Structure 1
Amino acid sequence: MRIITIGSGILGLSVALNLARKGASVELIDSQETLGRTSETSYAWTNASGKLDPNYHQLNVAGMEEHRVLHREFGMESSYTESGGLFIADAAQESGLRERLLQLEQHQYPFRLVNAHEAEELSGITPRENAALIAYFPKEGYVLPKKLMHNLRIAAETAGVQVTPGVVRSIADHFTSVSVELMDGQVIHADRVVLAAGRWSKSLALTAGIDLPMHDEVAKGSATIGVLGYALAPQLNLRAVVHEPTINLRPSAPGQVVVQALDLNPQADPASATTAGDPIGVELQNRFIDLTGIKPERFELRLSARSLPADGMPIVGSAHAGSNVYTLVSHSGVTLGPLLGKLAAAEILEGTESDLLSPYRIGRFEDGSRSFEAHIPTRIGEQ
């Protein structure tokens, strides 16, 4: 089977790799201008502690396990670290965290309560004196997205994936085949198309007659906009992902820390050249200094427009029976990417639907029984 994969982020690379390993002839359309841009600018925390819907929780737990599989495959070149994760709640957040832990107990998701001394030993961060409750999740971790995409791309090309530079103009489903037209006029024919182009998926799906329910507004205050800080602070030996009342931290490359404050996202304006010297950057850096006592040697700010299905949940599969266009979009692209790529490849080539993916078909939007409002955390502690 000849398959075109559109999108070169973690989802696109993962599905292309798994299709090729199963014997398909795969061509990956790679827009060099946008190569993995959204995947690269991601908090990249692997977890299921904030995903309490039973089906979605199960999917994310399986996604975490797939990162362990890749970790064993890539060995010393792995981009994944199972560092554990800490949630530090103050008095205002304590009841919410306790309620979450009760639900996670029902899911048999591993965690334990720790004191401030244990938290510091585990993470390298000293909790504030107002910490009321601290939970540690030993199976959570983080990914270095750029390194993961490099590993996936090398593995995909080794497996025979052909990479074609270009920007897709349109998709045409001919029912017995499919074709993709690039902006330069080139037309590529195949048996199937996998659409994994992140936030660009909605507009491309429309060219094939598919109404893909997604939030696609890229503007100040829109739910798709995320902002991250990148702090160079070699003095800080951060050993785990940390979420505390004012800021979230995860380890990155040696001496570097990724910094996030969800309440600042609505203030980010993608129309302006946001820098570390702008109010958001200054506030994010000040929060980092306030918690750690360390002024970064360098601090950068990055904005991204995230892929966001209408209800926040993945949209996976063909739009209808007989369609040759398979969509693959998700908000939790880093946690779920390697797993979704593997499951999608099996569905496409073997024709057997995955039970894990059955709640996430596009058909769920047809009868209006599901809300079109995605719940996106906007405050610390909501993740």
Structure 2
Amino acid sequence: MSSAKEVIVIGAGIIGASIAWHLAKAGARVTVVSESGAGGVATPNSFAWINASWGNPETYFRLRRRAMAEWTRLADDLPGLPLAWCGGLCWDMPTDEQEAYAAGHSSWGYGIERVGRDQVARIEPNLAELPDLALYIAEEGVAEPVAATSALLADAERRGARIVTGKTVIALTRSGGKVTGVEMSGERHAADEVVIAAGTGAPAIAETVGVKLPIETPPGLIVHSRPYTKMLNGLVLADRLHMRQTAEGRIIAGSDFGGADPGEDADATAHELFAATKTMLRGGEGLELDFHTVGYRPTPVDGFPIIGRAEGADGLYVAVMHSGITLAPAVGLFAAREILDGERDALLAPYGLNRFAQ
């Protein structure tokens, strides 16, 4: 890979941090610009589930599967990365849909095991309500989102990257049809390539050079308990809510992994959701609600990632998606290769911005 390219990465969430780290590791001169600190806006509000689950087409499953493998590679490169392959229990869909999901993903090589009531109790002995049948995927895991992002940025900085926080990118600069840098707070910074990995802020930045990003930003409320004794071994995706326990002992939960609809009164919604969480756990009466978060998920309108160069804006690379935690290490690796060597991984073929022009 080239060691000469100057690259500005806009965004310090998990995607921007991974792209910056992979670029710096490859020898590029990298500057990360973010209005907020490590984690950005969406990452701190993430359920942080690493998986290739759900009703995805096989092409997207393959990308997510590769990303799971890249998390293992990343952990080897960054010892101490807060990553746990804790496994996940799932019974949050009708029986026929659950069976179709299990059959399809199993045929693609996903390690899904059908488990009964007794096995569920052995896997998660503190569940107060047990399903007659659930799916168990031992290879799924979690990354503590802000800590993982901070670790990537710190190591990128150690490798020579500049991390600039508290600065707002007002516009991209352009010359002769090529993006040449960014303007922020009255300053202009030149670059050979600019990467937009700014989540919900990405469309406004791209619009400054006439690039439209078709993205929705649905909200998701997640409740966080005060740190508590060990109650959950892994992910629990039940029919009423999804929950897990963080490395510091907090039970976090949402009506699904994306979080609950906050409704008209987010505080009231949080208290209702937390009450439901407590009833799901034996011994849960001692849990105390610490806080809730409402995150806005940067979700392309067709549900799939936007990863790649923007046509008509040479020098601009876009990486915006909802499944940032799962995809981060693979996106970082593939984006760095494409930016520095022009080498686009075949797994990214369906996820260019140009698909929306069709």
- What TM-score does the superposition give when structure 1 sets the normalisation length? 0.86
CA contact (8 A) 1:227 1:268 kept: no
Partner of 2:32: 28
Contact 1:29 1:164 in 2 (8 A): yes
- Tell me, yes or no, if the aligned pair for 1:171 and 1:181 is still in contact at 8 Å: yes
Q: Distance in 1 between matches of 2:43 and 2:194?
A: 21
**Within-5 A mapping of 1:164-179:** 164-165=164-165, 166-174=167-175, 175=177, 178-179=180-181
Unaligned runs of 5+ in 2: none
Change (3 A) 1:35 1:111: closer
* Contact 1:71 1:78 (C-alpha < 8 Å) held by counterparts: yes
| Residues 86, 135 of structure 1: 8 Å contact kept | yes
Q: Deviations over 1:24-45 (max 9, x none)?
A: 1111112236852211110010
1:97 partner amino acid: Q
SS of corresponding position for 1:211: coil
2:254 maps to a residue whose letter is Q
**1:99 matched to 2:100:** yes
Q: 1:20, CA displacement in angstroms? A: 1.3
Q: CA deviation at 1:119?
A: 1.6
Kept in 2, the 8 Å contact 1:52–1:103? The answer is no
> Is 1:243 paired with 2:237?
yes
- Describe the shift of the 1:23–1:161 C-alpha distance in structure 2 as closer, same or farther (beyond 3 A): same
Number of the residue aligned with 1:114: 115
Matched position secondary structure for 1:357: helix
The alignment yields a C-alpha RMSD, in angstroms, of: 2.0
1:163-197 per-position Cα deviation (integer Å, ceiling 9, x unaligned):
22311000023245512100x20000111100100
Task: Please give the secondary structure, in 2, of the residue aligned with 1:230.
Answer: strand
What residue number does 2:139 align with?
139
Choose which of 315, 332, 354 in structure 2 pairs with 1:324. Answer: 315
- Equivalent residue pairs, number: 349
SS at match of 1:154: helix
1:286 is the counterpart of 2:275: yes
Q: CA deviation at 1:322?
A: 6.3
Q: Which amino acid aligns with 2:209?
A: A
The 8 Å contact of residues 285 and 299 in structure 1, kept in 2 or not, is answered as no
> Which runs of structure 2 are paired with 1:1-383 in the superposition (5 Å)?
1-32=5-36, 35-75=39-79, 77-88=80-91, 93-126=94-127, 128=129, 131-165=131-165, 166-174=167-175, 175=177, 178-182=180-184, 184-216=185-217, 224-232=218-226, 234-262=228-256, 265-269=260-264, 274=266, 278-293=267-282, 294-295=284-285, 296-320=287-311, 323-367=314-358
Distance across 2 between alignment mates of 1:65 and 1:27:
27
Q: Which amino acid aligns with 1:266?
A: D
Once residues 34 and 83 of structure 1 are traced to their aligned partners in structure 2, the CA distance between those partners, rounded to angstroms, is: 25
Change (3 A) 1:168 1:257: same
Percentage identity across aligned positions? 27
Amino acid corresponding to residue 181 of structure 2 in structure 1: S
Aligned-partner residue type, residue 144 of structure 2: L
Q: CA deviation at 1:310?
A: 1.4
Write the distance in 1 (CA, Å) between the matches of 2:78 and 2:27.
21
With structure 2 as the length reference, what TM-score do the two structures score? 0.92
Looking at structure 2, the residues matched to 353 and 233 of structure 1 have their Cα atoms a distance apart, in angstroms, of 43
Deviates more, 1:31-40 or 1:80-89: 31-40
